[in-house]
Structure 1
Amino acid sequence: MNERRREGAAVERAAAAHLQAAGLRPLAANVGFRGGELDIVMLDTRAGARTVVFVEVRHRRTAAFGGGAASVDAGKRRRLVLAAQQFLMRQPGLRELPCRFDVVEASGDAASPTLRWIEDAFRADD
């Protein structure tokens, strides 16, 4: 595994731990489909309802070229939506639940990143 992948994996683990500490339950991680990959899939039951949360993790060492959330452009959103649809097709127990797309922006050192969780960062019909 190269250095960039190791850093990405460390940041994704930190993001997943952050979301779990906030009360979300992990369902899957690094699930690849034709045309896209889902970094983290969680279940949010905090408000009493069950919501499937597809989380895109974006790491930037600096914000010189915009933050991580800014890098989730229309093409990336489209690929995430398609991957989420494929995931749900394989998970019959989750198909009827509401879904949302969150972004976790990570900055700084990958070993101890600063995290910013953006809930409901975009919609499937954006």
Structure 2
Amino acid sequence: MNQRNKRATGQHFEAAAEKHLSACGLTLIERNFLTKSGELDLIMRDNSTIVFVEVRYRDNQNYGHAAETVTYRKMQKLQKAANLWLMKQGMSIYSTDFRFDVVAIHQQGHQIEWIKNAITQG
């Protein structure tokens, strides 16, 4: 798959994840926040909590669950990017309620699993 198709696929499933989370009561703050250390797919609000959402898609689960593709290195990048986003907003990791969720999507978007607190701050 070329980079253009990969990006289009990513945007399609990020939109599906956003729609799913919005239906669950979350509100969108920002999409695709990009830094040198990485990208935050979705930044949403769940009441007073800022939610950094990593969206993962796998066509099938023959080689594992989509959420399993979030490696330790990816978690570190997400945490750095989130810290930068919070600082840009004038917020601190010490005084802001936030969490990292993963939305795992399978079966061409027919199966969407929302995993709250999937990544712990470390």
Tell me if TM exceeds 0.5: yes
1:33 and 2:35 aligned = yes
Asked if the contact 1:11/1:113 (under 8 Å) is kept, the reply is: no
1:25-71 CA distance string (max 9 Å, x none): 100110100111000000101xxxx1110000000001111111111
Count the aligned residue pairs: 118
CA distance in 2, matches of 1:67, 1:3: 22
For residue 2 of structure 1, report the CA deviation from its aligned partner: 2.1
Give the Cα–Cα distance (whole angstroms) in 2 for the partners of residues 113 and 39 of structure 1.
20
1:6 positional shift: 1.2
Superposed displacement of residue 5, structure 1: 1.5
Cα offsets for 1:52-107 (capped at 9, x unmatched): 10000000001111111111111000000000000001012x44321100000001
C-alpha distance in 1 between matches for 2:55 and 2:39:
11
User: How far, CA to CA, are the matches of 1:97 and 1:113 in structure 2?
Assistant: 34
Tell me, in whole angstroms, the C-alpha distance in 1 between the residues paired with 2:14 and 2:56.
Answer: 9
Matches of 2:46 and 2:82, distance apart in 1:
16
Give the deviation of 1:113 after TM superposition.
Answer: 3.8
Corresponding residue to 2:121 among 114, 120, 124? 124
- Alpha-carbon distance in 2 for matches of 1:106, 1:5: 16
CA shift for structure 1 position 17: 0.7
Please tell me the residue identity of whatever aligns with 1:99: F
Structure 1 distance, partners of 2:81, 2:62, is 29
Partners of 1:108 and 1:64 in 2: how far apart?
A: 11
**Which one has the bigger helix percentage?**
2
Match for 1:106: what amino acid?
Answer: I
Q: CA RMSD in A?
A: 1.3
Report how far residue 3 of structure 1 moved. Answer: 1.9
Query: 1:53 is matched by which residue type in structure 2?
Result: V
Partner of 1:43: 45
- The aligned counterpart of 1:56 is 54
